[in-house]
Amino acid sequence: MIDTFIDALETAYNAEIEKWHTSGKRIVGYTCSFLPLEILHAADILPVRLRGIQPESLVIGDTYYGPFVCTFPKTILQLVGEGKYAFLDGAIVSTGCDAMRRLDECWRKADEDIAGILPPFFHYFDVPHKVAPHSLKWFTDEIKTVIGALERHFDVTLSNADLTRAIKAQNRIRHLIDTLNDFRASDICPLTGTDFYTAMIAGTVLPQEVYADGLTELIRQINENKDSAHTDKKRILISGSVCDDADLIRLIESCGCVVVAENLCFGIKDGDDRVAEDSEPISALARRYLAAATCPRMFGGYQDRLKLLKTKIEKFRVDGVIVQNVRFCELHSAENGLFERDLAALNVPVLRVEREYGPITETGRMKMRVDAFLEKMSRQRRVS
């Protein structure tokens, strides 16, 4: 594994962010995969997806959020309050889900009590919940609004040429991700899900060039050394709520399987398709980021998402699917209920689990559930 990726996985203020920061360049945090990163890259601003890793407690998150709320945005707020995101020059909060969109107010109000935690640039980015001509117009306008806000605040000008350059660079990354991902479709599966997911998370916090170089190097290493193949293990697909560290994947794989595919909003969804390079860039970004969305917040799109899951199951020759949701994430939980029904009808083994967000929470219970699931799959196979 690439050291830069491991550092990016484990440290909020990783070496590359530190390098970027100390060189005087700007960094903007963001909360959701609906934000077109290309607009930040085009302005030479490093986009850093906000994660909730390594909080010291939840006392700050619990102070502003109410009790019946997913711990993911609470944990981000906790880190913000602890000063772990003090390096940010700005933050963009998207309307991913209700709990996450309220990070906007919780962050602003927490700043009244903990002075200085609100970055100088703070923007609320509204995202439609459906794909239609008028919602695409709305989303396009939102992108234009955030571009305008960035230009004014950071005194930059974003030309179409800048955006197209950033789009091409990001498309190159998507191509590299696809290449890496394709290794997992083969019988030999030369990399673990943990390693793959580490690379995916790294992509949400590293500069484009550093990340592209890392992916290229990782692909080269895998091509040169396929000895660590996982040919005899159960092949698992994991889907559901947000997962911003590799510990969950590591825990699953510690039970004796290999995660060969994901449908999670950190990482691989970004590799699934490209932004058109030959058309007006803002419209192209709007189309790609809204129309290609596979999040259950896009109400009424279940059949498309089921189709995507089936495609992945087939392509990656998946033996079993784990659908998981963080407590109070009803969007994924309800969808997982439907996946469970529909995949079971196709004789695809499914494990549905609810978990608390966080890297070290509920390890024993989760491991027991996964162990039992794998054991059940083995017995079913023997019987069949």
Partner 1 sequence: MRPELKEYNLDWMLASILSIAANLGNGTEKEWRNTIRYYPYFSGIVEPILNHGSVGASFLKLLSRSLNDIINARENGKKVVLTTFCMNTAIFHAMDITPVMLEVMTAISSLLFKRGATEYMDYCVELGFPDTGCSSQRGTLGAYLAGMGVDIDLVAVNMPGICDNNANAYAFAAEYLKKPFYALNYPAELVGPEARAYHRDDFKGLIAFLEEQTGNRLDVGRLEEILDEYKRQDALLSHIEDMMRLVPNPVPGIFNLFFYVGRWLYGGFPIYTELLQEMVAAIEKNIASGRAGIYNGEEKLRAFFFYIDNFALNARMWQWFDTHGISILGSILSRYFPDNSPYLPDMEAGYTIDTTHLDAMIDTVAEMNARNPMTRTIRGPYDAPYMWLEDTLSLAGMYKADCCIYSATPGCRNTWSNVKLITKDIEKHGYPVHIVHADGFDARVESWQKTAEQLEEFFTVRNLFKTNGRLK
CA distance 241 to 200: 16
| Phi, psi dihedrals of residue 347, rounded to the nearest 5° | 65, 30
Compare residues 240 and 271 and give the one whose CB is closer to partner 1. 240
SS3 226: coil
Report residue 115 as tokens: 């002075």
Compare residues 105 and 375 and give the one whose CB is closer to partner 1. 105
Cβ burial of 159 (10 Å; 0-12, 13-18, 19+) is exposed
Give the nearest distance from C-beta 345 to partner 1 in angstroms. Answer: 13
Give the nearest distance from C-beta 265 to partner 1 in angstroms. Answer: 15
Report residue 271 as tokens: 């590799």
Give the nearest distance from C-beta 14 to partner 1 in angstroms. Answer: 29
Compare residues 9 and 323 and give the one whose CB is closer to partner 1. 323
Compare residues 13 and 124 and give the one whose CB is closer to partner 1. 124
Give the nearest distance from C-beta 137 to partner 1 in angstroms. Answer: 8
Compare residues 192 and 333 and give the one whose CB is closer to partner 1. 333
Compare residues 112 and 232 and give the one whose CB is closer to partner 1. 112
8 A C-beta contact, residue 184 and residue 231: no
Give the nearest distance from C-beta 170 to partner 1 in angstroms. Answer: 27
Q: Which helix (H) or strand (E) holds 121?
A: strand 121-125
Compare residues 97 and 258 and give the one whose CB is closer to partner 1. 97
Chain residues that interact with partner 1, rule: CB under 8 A: 63-70, 73, 95, 97-99, 102, 104-106, 109, 124, 126, 128-130, 132-135, 137-138, 141, 296-297, 299-300, 302-303, 325, 327-328, 330-331, 333-334, 336-338, 340-341
CA distance 64 to 81: 11
- Helix residue ranges, H only, 203-241: 208-224
42 residue type, one letter: A
Give the nearest distance from C-beta 230 to partner 1 in angstroms. Answer: 31
Compare residues 213 and 342 and give the one whose CB is closer to partner 1. 342
| Phi, psi dihedrals of residue 92, rounded to the nearest 5° | -125, 115
Judged by phi (left if over 0) then psi (alpha if -120 to 50, else beta), residue 313 lies in: alpha
Compare residues 63 and 179 and give the one whose CB is closer to partner 1. 63
Give the nearest distance from C-beta 6 to partner 1 in angstroms. Answer: 33
Across the strands, what pairs with 122?
A: 91
CA distance 237 to 235: 7
Give the nearest distance from C-beta 100 to partner 1 in angstroms. Answer: 9
Compare residues 235 and 352 and give the one whose CB is closer to partner 1. 352
Across the strands, what pairs with 28?
A: 47, 90
CA distance 48 to 188: 33
Give the nearest distance from C-beta 117 to partner 1 in angstroms. Answer: 15
**Other Cβ atoms closer than 10 A to 375:** 12
Residues with Cβ within 8 Å of 18's Cβ and at least 6 positions away in sequence, in order, are: 87
Give the nearest distance from C-beta 126 to partner 1 in angstroms. Answer: 5
Dihedral sign for Cα atoms in the order 257, 263, 265, 268: positive
Closest CA to 244 of 70, 367, 365: 70
CA distance 210 to 226: 24
